[in-house]
Structure formats: C-alpha cells, structure tokens
Amino acid sequence: MNISELIIQRKKEKIFKAVGNVADSISRECYAVGGCVRDMMLDRPSVDIDFVSVGNGIELAEAVARSMGKGTHLSVFRNFGTAQVKRGEMELEFVGARKESYDRQSRNPIVEDGTLHDDLSRRDFTINAMAVSVNTATFGDLIDLFDGISDLKAGIIRTPLDPDITFSDDPLRMMRAIRFATQLGFEIYPATLEAITHNAQRIKIITRERIMDELMKIMRSACPSLGWRLLEQTGLLQLIFPELHALCGVETVKGRGHKDNFLHTLEVLDKVAAKTGDVWLRWSALLHDIAKPVTKRWDNSLGWTFHNHNFIGSKMIPRIFRQMKFPMNDRMRYVQKMVELHMRPIALVEEGVTDSAIRRLLHDAGDDITDLMTLCEADITSKNAEKVKRHLENFASVRRKMEEVEARDHIRNFQPPVDGSEIMTIFGLQPSREVGVLKQAIKDAILDGVIPNEREAAMEFLLSQAAGLGLSPV
C-alpha cells in the first residue's frame, strides 16, 4: 500500500523526501515510524517525527543535519543510539532498527541491532507499529505488519505481540494504553485490557515521574474521565493513587446510601474539562472531594455526613503533590485553595447572599474567583433537572452580586489602607499581639461593610479600636 497522496495532503512530503534523499546518498533504508504515521492517518497535528534507519541512526541524523545547513541543531545520545535534529519547531528523532529483551526487574531493555520487522515488533501498540518508506524508490510504501490500519479504523488499542509479555516487559505501556484510549476515544482490545489487569502490580517498578507524565496527558484529554475509569477498572488506580480509589463505592446504613463519590468526581471533572483546558483547574475538580472517605460519618438524625471535607482535603493536597512529584509551588497552592473554597459559593446560595459574605469570598479567592465558580457550578451533578436549574440560577445571582460588590468596594486582593508597620509607628509598638488584633479588626470591618475600603475611615476606626485596648498615639 502506498500513501504518497496522504503524505502530500498532510504536508509531510518535503521533510520526508529531504530525509529520504540523504538516506539514499549513504545507501540507507529509512522509514518514518510510530506516532507520526498514526497521527497522519488520523489527521492529528504532530511536530516531532521519528525515523528508523536500517543501520546506524546517528550517522543518518548527522548527515541530515549537515544537509539542512545553518539554524539546524543536532543532539546525539550515543548511550541510547539515538539522535535528534531540530530546526525551528520541527523535531526529527533518529534511531537504528533494533530488537529488545528485558530483565524482569527493570523496564530498561537490552538492545541489539535488528531488522525493520524486529523494530516494529517491539513497539507498544499496532497503531504505533506502522512505518512509511522515505527512500526515493519506495517512497510512501506503508509497512503494516500487525494490521494497525484496521485497528485505527475500528478505534482499537491492541498490542502487536502477546500483551502479557508486552506489559510485563515494560509496565509503563499499561499507562500508555489507557492514555491513548483516552486521547483518541478508542476502546482497549479485550485481551489487551485483561493483560493490564493481570500485570497491574508490575506498575510498581515504574518511577512516579513517568506515571505522572501519563496522568497529565490523560488530564489534558477532551474527556479525562475515560482514563480514570480504566485505571480503576484494571486495578491500577489503587496502586498509583489510593486516595482517589478510596472514593469508589457506596456504603449503606439503615437503607440509606450516599452517592458514589468517585463517579461524582469524574462527572465534575468532565464538566470542568468541557469549559476549560486549564489542567490545574481540572486537577482541582478531581481532588475537590478527596477527603470524603476520611470524613465520612453516619449520623442517625442527618444520615451520611462529610463535615469539613473541604478543609481537610486542602490539608491533604501538599502530601498528594509531594508523593506524585508535582510542583510544590503556586500550582499546588492554587489547587489547595480550590479544594478548600469549593463549598463556599454553595453555602452562600443556601444561607443567603449577604454583602459581607460576598466580600469575604472575593477576598479569599482573589483572582481565582472565576475558576472557583466554574468548579462549583460543575459540582452540581444531581439527576433532578429542576434542582440543577434552581442551583444554577442561584449561582448566576451570586455572580451578579459579586460584580456589584467588587465594582463598589474593590475587595478582590485588597490590602487594608493601614498596615502593621504604620500601626506600630502610630502607637509606638513593637511587633506584638496588639498589632495583629488591630490589623485584623480593620480588615474585618471593611469585609463586613462596617467601614468603606478607604484610608480616612480606616484611620478613624483604628483609633477607636486602639482606645478600647488602652492605646493612644505617641
């Protein structure tokens, strides 16, 4: 099968022919392989292209880099037998055809020179095991030893060889199978899915960083819940993220059960994903109820309760981020804030939308208030259409009220007009409890609407509060 027309349509002809001409000049067979072929068939964008040379891949990369001239950057990784040629946004990866064998204690293979057949056989899935010749005489010839084309058309993720061996040799491929199924909306072939379940324990030899890389790709997918469902179904979730697995299931007491918090969480996640590509807001959605298993209690009067799950959940975020090898920076603090505050707008709706409560929410959420409202609206997953409609209308009212209060009082991210240093200067104080008390009193007075967010009003209020503490200006 020749796919020259498809290569031209996907605007790959120029680079494929350029590499092919260099390969011809040194009498080397060369093929575009793997993801770039798959994505070309699916009409998905791809910037990086992998080439397999039947022979030394580094030599071919060096020759290609010379042919491209100035502005081309060559990186050689001799320990791995690979090289990268980069020009602008385009990245070309070169490797010699090889065959692999594995030690059970490691996913790092023992590599030997091999044939094209060997090289395609070692690849993870049939849809990634296709090759296209770029040599002039055979340009566009598709080599599809494992019927990847049919699997692409059918939307199937399947291993070229025995899936038990494939996943035992390199357990990261189990994560990749689920990630590709999520990204592409494909089904995992039954025997392949069963093999993931058989080999789930093997994931323990994979570094946390590699696992998290796959999870981030799942989270950036259009419908990330697909991946999390498959992780739970195969037994991987319990091994890589036990806190999330703990959300699964329903417990019943006296005929009363609570909702399955795992399924609820996935519904919230997909609703957030439909609104935004912000991966950290998506993580906030996934983690918003993470403390429900540890706060779940049965109350004979109230039924099932999850008191303070938002506050306790926020305290769990740093530990989760640390064990997941996520960044311990403002992104962690953002997710922590979202988890802690996600009940506040709901409480506003239920308890009444006062100006004071709006001011405090605006102050605590700051510039993330819009994201918080997106999360809170997604958190409404009732099957009662009338209830959902009522909640969304109430949230719309909260949004309007926030706009009014912010326009009038400028509360978001505000700093009190009189700070701690000025208080110490006015009353001749050293850092002390009294300074903190006065500073907090001014802040609370502004947030509660007792005084406007203005310096003159704040100074007058400060003097009255200080007098109550027996303090006077020096």
Q: Ramachandran region of residue 299, left (φ > 0), alpha (ψ -120 to 50) or beta?
A: beta
The alpha carbons of the chain give a radius of gyration, in whole angstroms, of 30
Q: Quick one: 180 and 121 in the same domain?
A: no
The predicted-structure confidence for 172-203, as pLDDT tens digits, reads as follows 999 999 999 999 999 999 999 999 999 999 99
Give the model's pLDDT for residue 470. Answer: 86
Residue 182: CATH number of its domain = 1.10.110.30
Q: Quick one: 128 and 160 in the same domain?
A: no
Q: Is 206 domain-assigned?
A: yes
Q: Quick one: 59 and 187 in the same domain?
A: no
Q: Could you tell me if 208 and 241 are in contact, meaning their C-beta atoms sit under 8 angstroms apart?
A: no
Give the total number of structural domains in the chain.
3
Give the position of tokens 């996913």. 107
Give the model's pLDDT for residue 93. Answer: 96
Q: Quick one: 82 and 178 in the same domain?
A: no
Q: Is 190 domain-assigned?
A: yes
Q: Quick one: 145 and 229 in the same domain?
A: no
Q: Quick one: 74 and 136 in the same domain?
A: yes
For 425, the domain range is: 420-468
C-alpha closest to that of 100 among 82, 76, 120: 120
Q: Quick one: 102 and 227 in the same domain?
A: no
Q: Is the dihedral of CA 45, 326, 311, 441 positive or negative?
A: negative
Q: Quick one: 199 and 124 in the same domain?
A: no
Range scoring the smallest mean pLDDT among 53-62, 216-225, 459-468: 459-468
Q: Quick one: 66 and 185 in the same domain?
A: no
The predicted-structure confidence for 405-430, as pLDDT tens digits, reads as follows 887 777 776 777 888 888 898 888 88
The predicted-structure confidence for 253-303, as pLDDT tens digits, reads as follows 887 888 899 999 999 999 999 999 999 999 999 999 999 999 999 888 888
Q: Quick one: 150 and 203 in the same domain?
A: no
